[in-house]
């Protein structure tokens, strides 16, 4: 998965799609940030605010000297007054909507959980864009968390499917029935995949836009690997974000 991500990043960079980003945290010295900016040699860049600078006035003076493409703010890390220092800049609000669990088995099966309503309110807060961490969450581990998970879990995001429910993005977890280390992995994958396929087929119209869900609803003749399932789930989430009609 990590090699795939790096390959995509390199391809995007070669087409000028990506921009470098420097991070602001409450504990980072301004001198360190200035060095990081100098290393970019005049390239446009973004600023990720993962906390409020100790001296926001000096930070603002320094950043105003440069061509900044976008300011990214994690919701909850900075208050409104801090964010409004750059109210005339391109600003994006970020949120990690994925509720990470210690074990896959700890996810609630068959229950709709609220993932994020940020897509429905970022404009009201004065931001030009929003972002999240898909169905992976902010914490990234190259090996997927170390030891192979005993319970297989597939995560699917979707718009509100129930009348009178608040406008939001929801998530549901599809778990394998077998949860022992001796259970064949292919059997566990098929158990989770079959549950996901039934759910999608029950709501065909809601998922008609998603090519990833068309794959899940099949289901595929051969049992896919966990890596394939995760990539498809991420692809669906990106398709969902693109599909939103707000």
Q: Report the pLDDT value the prediction gives residue 222, as an integer from 0 to 100.
A: 81
Q: Report the pLDDT value the prediction gives residue 54, as an integer from 0 to 100.
A: 87
Q: Report the pLDDT value the prediction gives residue 141, as an integer from 0 to 100.
A: 57
Is residue 82 located within the same domain as residue 108?
Answer: no
Confidence of residue 146 (pLDDT cuts 50, 70, 90): very low
Could you tell me which residue, 237 or 223, shows the higher pLDDT? 237
Could you tell me which residue, 182 or 62, shows the higher pLDDT? 62
| pLDDT higher than threshold 70 for residue 1 | no
For strands 113-116 and 169-175, give the pairing: antiparallel
Q: What is the DSSP string of 97-111?
A: -----SSGGGSPBT-
Q: Give the relative orientation of helices 30-38 and 56-63 as an angle to the nearest 10 degrees.
A: 10
DSSP-derived secondary structure letter, 106: G
Is residue 167 located within the same domain as residue 205?
Answer: yes
Residue 8 lies in a domain: no
| pLDDT higher than threshold 70 for residue 227 | yes
Is residue 227 located within the same domain as residue 106?
Answer: yes
Mean pLDDT value of segment 135-156: 72
Is residue 89 located within the same domain as residue 207?
Answer: no
Mean pLDDT value of segment 44-56: 92
Residue 206 lies in a domain: yes
Output the CA–CA distances (angstroms, integers) from residue 198 to 203, 209, 240, in the order listed: 9, 17, 19
Confidence of residue 139 (pLDDT cuts 50, 70, 90): confident
Each residue's pLDDT tens digit, 164-191: 787 899 999 999 997 777 788 888 999 9
Is residue 31 located within the same domain as residue 148?
Answer: no
Q: Report the pLDDT value the prediction gives residue 145, as an integer from 0 to 100.
A: 47
Is residue 112 located within the same domain as residue 75?
Answer: no
What is the span of the domain harbouring residue 230? Answer: 99-116+144-246
Is residue 164 located within the same domain as residue 65?
Answer: no
Is residue 103 located within the same domain as residue 76?
Answer: no
Residue 217 lies in a domain: yes
Lowest mean pLDDT among 50-59, 130-139, 225-234: 130-139
Could you tell me which residue, 143 or 41, shows the higher pLDDT? 41
Is residue 239 located within the same domain as residue 210?
Answer: yes
Is residue 56 located within the same domain as residue 107?
Answer: no
Confidence of residue 119 (pLDDT cuts 50, 70, 90): very high
Take residue 122 and report the two structure tokens written for it. Answer: 């970022």
99 burial via Cβ count (<10 Å: 0-12, 13-18, 19+):
middle
Residue 132 lies in a domain: no
CB 15 within 8 A of CB 42: no
Confidence of residue 110 (pLDDT cuts 50, 70, 90): confident
Q: Report the pLDDT value the prediction gives residue 92, as an integer from 0 to 100.
A: 96
Distance of CA 84 to the CA centre of its chain: 24
Is residue 103 located within the same domain as residue 218?
Answer: yes
Mean pLDDT value of segment 95-116: 90
Lowest mean pLDDT among 12-21, 43-52, 62-71, 126-135: 12-21
Q: Report the pLDDT value the prediction gives residue 7, as an integer from 0 to 100.
A: 62
Structurally, the chain folds into a number of domains equal to: 2
């Amino acid at each position: 998965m990590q090699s795939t991500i790096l390959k995509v990043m390199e391809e995007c960079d070669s087409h000028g799609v990506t921009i470098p980003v420097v991070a602001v945290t409450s504990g980072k010295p301004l001198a360190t940030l200035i060095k990081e900016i100098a290393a970019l040699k005049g390239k446009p860049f973004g600023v990720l605010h993962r906390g409020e600078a100790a001296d926001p006035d000096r930070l603002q003076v320094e950043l105003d000297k440069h061509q900044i493409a976008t300011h990214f703010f994690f919701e909850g890390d900075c208050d409104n007054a801090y964010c409004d220092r750059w109210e005339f800049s391109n600003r994006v609000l970020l949120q990690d909507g994925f509720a990470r669990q210690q074990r896959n088995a700890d996810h609630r099966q068959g229950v709709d959980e609220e993932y994020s309503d940020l897509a429905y309110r970022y404009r009201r807060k004065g931001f030009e864009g929003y972002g999240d961490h898909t169905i992976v969450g902010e914490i990234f581990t190259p090996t997927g968390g170390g030891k192979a998970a005993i319970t297989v879990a597939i995560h699917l995001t979707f718009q509100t499917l129930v009348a009178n429910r608040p406008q939001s993005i929801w998530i549901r977890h599809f778990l394998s029935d077998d949860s022992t280390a001796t259970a064949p992995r292919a059997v566990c994958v098929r158990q989770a995949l079959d549950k996901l396929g039934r759910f999608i087929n029950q709501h065909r119209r809601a998922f008609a836009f998603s090519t990833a869900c068309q794959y899940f609803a099949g289901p595929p003749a051969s049992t896919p690997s966990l890596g394939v399932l995760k990539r498809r789930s991420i692809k669906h989430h990106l398709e969902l974000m693109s599909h939103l009609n707000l």
